[in-house]
Structures are given as C-alpha cells and as structure tokens.
A and B are shown apart, each in its own frame.
Chain A
Amino acid sequence: MIWLAWRQFRVQAYLALGLLGVMAIAFAITGPGIAHLYDTAVATCGTHGDCGTVQNSFLGKDRFLQSLSVVVVVVPALLGIFWGAPLIAREMETGTFRLAWTQSVTRSRWIATKFCLVGLASMVTAGLLSLMVTWWSSPFDSLRDVPFSIFDQRDIAPIGYAAFAFALGAVLGILIRRVLPAMAATLVVFIAVRLAFTNWIRQRFATPLHITTPFQAPGPGFNGGNGLPGNPGDWVVSEETINSSGKVIGRYGGIGPNGEVNFRGNGSGVTYFQGVGKCPNRIPNPPVGSRNTSSQPPPAVQHAIQKCIDSFHLRSVATYQPTSRYWSFQWYELTIFLVMALLLSALGWWWVRRRLA
C-alpha cells in the first residue's frame, strides 16, 4: 500500500524536490555573501556613519530573491490545491477507486496511507522552504525588524498552513468528488481561513499589553505615534485616543474618525478638537505655497496648546503584542492549524469509511 501511494505521488514529489533544490542552490550561493556583508558593512555602519546609504543599499540587494519570500505564503495553498484536492477526488472521478478498494487492503488503510504520506510530504516541503527562506532572509529581517509583518512567511507557521491546506483539499475532494471544483473550493476556503487568522484571530492569542500616555498635540518630537512602546519590532494592534471617561474618540494619534487633530492656523482664534473642547490658538498661517508637511508652530505656542489639551485629560492607548511573544505565537498558530488539519483528516477518514457508499 505504501508502494502504491508513493508510486502515485512520485512525480509530484520529484517536482517539489526539484524546485526546492533550485531555490536551495540560489540561496546557498548568495546567502553567505549577504550574511557576511551584513556583518561587515551594515552592523558596523554606526561607526562608519553611513547607515542611511548602507542600509538602503543593503535592502535593495538581491531584490528578486527577497521577493521569493512570498512563495512561502503561496506554497501551502498550492499544496492544498494540487496535492490535496485531487488525492481522492481523482480516484472517484476516474473510477479507479473501484480497483483500489477491491484489493486486499481496507478502505481505512488505503486512505490512512495516502493521507499520511502526502500530508507529511506537504509539511516537510513547507518546512524546508520556510527554513531556507528564514535562514537566507535573516540579515534583512534583522534590519527591518518587523517580525509580525512577515509572521506567516517564516519559521514554523507555514508547516501548519501546509498541513491544514492539504487536509482541507483532500476532504473537499472527498465531499465534492470532482477534481476541478474541489480545487476551486479549497482555494477559497483556505484563503478565507488565513485572512481570518491574520486580521482577527492571531492578535487574540494572548491578551495584548497596553501603554497609556498622555495625549500629545502635534509638535516637536511628535512622531505620529504618541509614544509607542520602545521596541520597533512590536506589533501595534491598535492605537487609540481616549477621553477622560474612557471612550475612544480617535485613532493613530489623532482625534475624530479620520485622525484629524484640528488645528486651524489663522494667527488668532480658536482650535477645535472635535468632540472634546477648544483651545485658544495663536498659530500663524503657514507660508503661502508651502508644501512642508510638518510645519511646526513656534515652541511657545505649541507649549500653550499642549497645556490646554492637558486639561481635557486625553490619553493615548497603544495596544500591542511585544516582540518577545513572537515565538509563542508561532507555536500557537502552528498548533491550531495542525489541530484543524487533524480534525479534517478524521472527518475525511470517517466519511470515506461510512458514508461514501
């Protein structure tokens, strides 16, 4: 039975190995050079004073290979579509299941063997791919320091995605019994699940932390973040402005639904803070035709406005997941997707045994 499962899977396995091999070669040739360059040029750019240009130049290196990192996102879906969906559906469509199920091997053993072989192969493929890309990209990743943005293209999460996509494809193939519709359905469902995780579920793996700071009006040192937590690699889930009674009245360092902080620079008069109050304001008009997006009012005026704002007792709350949680989140996500894969596999197994008759 193992022989049969392998024989049917042979060509796809070789293709995957071939592609992995090509990528491995490309990475192996360029990787050490990049790591070396990082160590000698980028890491020491501080002592050389050329961080700006060196970092830019470094980030522009091997752009094509850098973009291959997106392959890690796409591969699980492809595995689900091309390895998972046809696994059983093809046999149903062509009638060969009538040959396979009348040898001396029970249906259960047949499906268990196929599932295990191709499922494991999927996980291994995704795992190797992720390993290669993670290793090769680590200098770039250190420089950019946004681990949560590339969460689903690195480390162990893709293994879970591959297992889930495969199981999803196989089960949809069992239910739908025709290859092409099963492939389409797998794609749609897989994308939906991944989107749900990325946008809603992942940020709830652990209760996020909060940092509350007094709200700061735009001014010198204003960086739009109103005092974000210290580590740039943290994942800021949301940044809200709340008033004294705790109600959310704005986001991203602004007030109001579109983040405005309504300064009206007219030299005299009043600044309105929507839904909060008003402050006297003596900000001069910006020079005519000025395109400077960060024209700062004079410090004294700024100071006065800030004192007025303080009287409203506004606070800026950043909700975030610290970088230190990156690995526990990877494990959570991997585990959840593996569990989903197992549940789907169980469903498929039961369906083939009991219902498909």
Chain B
Amino acid sequence: MTAVLEAEGLGKRYGRRWALSDCTLSIPSGHVVGLVGPNGAGKSTLLNMAVGLLTPTQGTLSVFGNEPAKDPEQLARVGFVAQDTPTYAGLSVADHLKLGARTNPKWDNDLAEDRINQLGIDFKQKAGKLSGGQQAQLSLTMAISKRPEILILDEPVASLDPLARREFLQILMETVAEHDVSVILSSHLVADIERVCDYLVVLVSSRVQLTGELDELLASHHRLIGPRIEDGASIENQYVVESSHNDRQSIVLVRSDGPVVDPAWTIEPVSLEDMVLGYMGQGKRHGSPRSTTSRDDA
C-alpha cells in the first residue's frame, strides 16, 4: 500500500516553543484519516506543513513521495481546507468558483456548480455574507472540485452547529465514495472522527501517541476492571495506557499484546472516545510515548 504522507522525525519550532516534535508517521492511501488531539497539540502545524504553508524546522515530510507544494503538479494533487475556512469576503460564490477554475488545471466546474446548487447557496452572494456553515461548504466544494488525490481538512467543522456539521461530513463521505480520494481530517471532536474515519492518528503535546487502522486499534484495546492494584504496576501481556483507581477497584485501559492471564480482570471493549482520551491523558502526563504504532502484521 503506497504511503500518502510520510514524516520522519518531523518537528516545527516557533521561537522556543515546539509546536510539533519528533513526529514519525506513515499514512497509507485510500483511507479517511482522523487526526485527533487536544487544542495546541500540533494538528494544524502538521497539516499546514503537509500542504506547504509551513516549512519544517527538523526532519522530513513528503506527500506522494514529493516535497509539499513543490510545483504546480504537486499542488494539484492536494486539496486543502484551512481552519476557519478562509474565503475572500468581497468575492461572490461564483467568483470563488472562477478562481478555482482559473488556478487549477483539473478543475471540474460541473461538479462545483452541482454541489453549490444542492446546498442551495446563492451564486451571487458575497462570501463574507455567507453563514459559517455555508462558508465551510464553499471551501470544501472548492477543494473537492479541484479533483485532488488527497483532501486535507484542518478542523473544518470546529465552528459549525451540529446540523451543518453533519451535512458537511455527509458530503465529504459522498465525495470519498464517488471519487476515490484519500482524506486527512483533523478534529478535537472524537464523535466526528468516529463517524467518518477509518484510520486514526492521535497527536498530544506535539507528539504522535498512536496511529493505526481504527478497527484494529479498537480490537486490540480493552478496558480491564478488577480489584485495586498499585498505580504503575504492570499487567502481564498488556501495555497499560491509563488507569484510574478508587478504594476497591481499578479500571485500566490497555493495549493487548496477548491474552489476559489474570482471571480477576473483567474485560470490556473500549469506545473510541475512551481510547483516545486515554492516550491524550497519557500524552499529557508522559510527553513521549513508549510505543506508538499498532502492529498490522499481527
């Protein structure tokens, strides 16, 4: 499976602060990738670097095996929707489509116009007067109509109401189905990830905590409930992600390297949200994780 995005020791520093550090990733193509993590984790930084809006301070990053934004061909393969979905307030919707048509050789104008019509947006309306949801849809339409091989979306639904959010993700999924496009979508709302993604990257405190196919991850992580154990004690065959204790009980989130030996534990499946929250907690506590990738050759 070809990698759509590969990062090796990638880092970005602003002054003394590292927005992203020691990021090593290999994202396969043909997936809808969810990039999840708390605010300030470095998601925007990573995505902006992937489209060439930022340059790395350290390490390497390649998209389709090439340096991001290297030349017009490279730019044509990547569609991007930035955070806050910026549009030209003084230009109308029709102008934006024309912008897309004039600056993208592979522009599909019929597709764009269909989408805008479906959304019920007035072509003559100035983008500055559109609602937040409509602006986001316009940005997405522009990115899609460019017929890229990958769509990169930086928190596109963060400021949308639930209905607008659902519509946006719906259109996104339709597009993926119709046009065979890879997607990398960042969000701090796990529910959105769950809805659309099949590959997960967890980014906390500017480091990658976890990556892998969603199904496999969920299958290999469990919630163990059992009698109270020492905080920090290890469990055979399990990698402890996070544990919480009260007087009599311990609830532990583990990644299973093998079967659970101790019968005292009750094993439950874990929801995506709990799993991600667990890794977020670990990330905040420890900084760098001990082991980040799932094993897809199990």
User: A contacts B directly in the complex (CB < 8 Å)?
Assistant: yes
A contacts, CB < 8 Å to B? 1-4, 7-8, 94-99, 101-107, 109, 357
Known contacts: A3-B98, A8-B88. The answer to whether A105 contacts B69 by CB under 8 A is no
Q: Which residue of A lies closest to B98 (CB)?
A: A3
Residues of B within 8 A of A7 (CB): 91, 95, 98-99
Q: List 29 A-B contacts (CB under 8 A).
A: A3-B98, A3-B99, A4-B102, A8-B91, A94-B86, A94-B89, A95-B82, A97-B53, A98-B80, A98-B86, A99-B142, A101-B51, A101-B52, A102-B52, A102-B75, A102-B78, A102-B79, A102-B82, A103-B100, A103-B103, A103-B146, A104-B73, A104-B75, A104-B105, A104-B146, A106-B71, A106-B75, A357-B52, A357-B54
Closest to A2 in B: B102
Beyond A3-B99, A102-B80, 10 additional pairs, beta carbon < 8 A: A3-B102, A7-B99, A94-B86, A98-B48, A99-B82, A99-B86, A102-B75, A104-B76, A105-B72, A357-B53
Q: Is the CB of A103 within 8 A of B104?
A: yes
Chain A residues closer than 8 Å to B75, beta-carbon distance: 102-106
The complex places the Cα of A4 from the Cα of B104 at a distance, in Å, of: 12
**Cα of A252 to Cα of B82 in the assembled complex, Å:** 67
Q: Are the CB atoms of B82 and A103 closer together than 8 Å?
A: no
Question: Is residue B108 contacting chain A, with contact meaning CB distance below 8 A?
Answer: no
What residue of chain B has the Cβ atom nearest to residue A357's Cβ?
B55
- The interface centre, meaning the residue of A8, A95, A98, A105 with most chain B CB atoms within 10 A of its CB, is A98
Q: Could you tell me which B residues sit within 8 Å of A by CB distance?
A: 48, 51-55, 69, 71-73, 75-76, 78-80, 82, 84, 86-91, 95, 98-100, 102-106, 139, 142, 146
Residues on the B chain within 8 Å of A4, using CB:
99, 102-103
The smallest beta-carbon distance between A191 and chain B, in angstroms, is 30
User: Within 8 Å CB of A106, what residues of B?
Assistant: 69, 71-72, 75
Return chain B residues, CB-CB under 8 Å to A94.
86, 89
Q: Is the CB of B84 within 8 A of A95?
A: yes
Set of chain A residues within 8 Å of B105, measured between Cβ atoms:
104
Chain B residues within 8 Å of A107, by CB: 69
Once the chains bind, are B86 and A95 in contact (CB under 8 Å)?
A: yes
Residue contact A103 to B99, C-beta cutoff 8 Å: yes
Name the residue among A4, A8, A97 with the largest chain B CB count within 10 angstroms.
Answer: A4
Q: Give, as a whole number of angstroms, the nearest-CB distance from A3 to chain B.
A: 5
Q: Say whether A98 contacts B82, CB under 8 Å.
A: yes
Indicate if the CB atoms of A101 and B104 lie closer than 8 Å. no
CA distance A165 to B106 in the complex (A): 38
User: Which residues from chain A contact B72 at a C-beta distance below 8 Å?
Assistant: 104-106, 109
8 closest A-B pairs by beta carbon, nearest first, are A98-B82, A103-B103, A102-B80, A357-B55, A104-B76, A95-B86, A104-B104, A3-B102
* Minimum CB distance partner of B55 in chain A: A357
Complex Cα distance A213/B296, Å?
Answer: 99
Residue ID in chain B nearest A98 by CB atoms:
B82
Q: Min CB distance, A226 to chain B, in Å?
A: 63
* Residues of chain A within 8 A of B55, CB atoms compared: 357
Given contacts A3-B98, A102-B75, A103-B99, contact A96 B87 (CB under 8 A): yes
Q: Please give me the residue from chain B that is nearest to A105 by CB atom.
A: B103
Contact of B103 (CB < 8 Å), options: A8, A98, A104: A104
Nearest-neighbour CB distance to chain A for B89, whole angstroms, equals 8
Q: How far is the CA of A102 from the CA of B76 in the complex (A)?
A: 8
Question: Within the complex, what minimum Cβ distance (angstroms) separates B142 from chain A?
Answer: 8
> B104: which A residues are within 8 A, CB to CB?
103-104
Q: How far is the CA of A102 from the CA of B79 in the complex (A)?
A: 7
What are the residues of chain B within 8 A of A104 when measuring CB–CB?
72-73, 75-76, 103-106, 146
Nearest Cβ on chain B to A160's Cβ, whole angstroms: 31
Tell me which residues across on chain B come within 8 A of A2, comparing CB atoms.
102
Rounded to whole angstroms, the CA-CA distance of A307 and B99 in the bound complex is: 84
Q: For the complex formed, measure the closest distance between the CB of B121 and the CB atoms of chain A, giving whole angstroms.
A: 17
The distance in angstroms between the C-alpha atoms of A87 and B1, with both chains bound, is 44
- Chain B residues contacting A105 (CB-CB under 8 Å) are 72, 75, 103
- Contact check, B86 vs A96: say whether CB atoms are below 8 A apart: yes
When the two chains form their complex, are residues B103 and A1 in contact, meaning their CB atoms are under 8 A apart?
yes
Interchain CA distance A146-B80 in the complex, whole Å: 60
Which residues does chain A contribute within 8 Å of B82, judged by CB atoms?
Answer: 95, 98-99, 102
In this complex, the member of A4, A8, A97, A103 whose beta carbon has the largest number of chain B beta carbons within 10 angstroms is A103
- Inter-subunit contact B102/A99 (CB<8 Å): no
- A232 CB, nearest partner CB in chain B, Å: 53
Query: Which of B79, B80, B88, B89 has the most A CB atoms < 10 Å from its CB?
Result: B88
Point out the residue from B69, B78, B98, B139 that lies within 8 Å of A99, measured CB to CB.
B139
Cα–Cα distance between A260 and B100 once the two chains are bound (Å): 74
Min CB distance B84 to A, Å, is: 6
Distance, CA A102 to CA B146, complexed state (A):
10
Q: Which residue of A lies closest to B152 (CB)?
A: A102
Chain B's nearest CB lies how many Å from the CB of A44? Answer: 57
Q: Is A1 within 8 A of B102, CB to CB?
A: yes
Closest residue of chain B to A99 (Cβ to Cβ) is B86
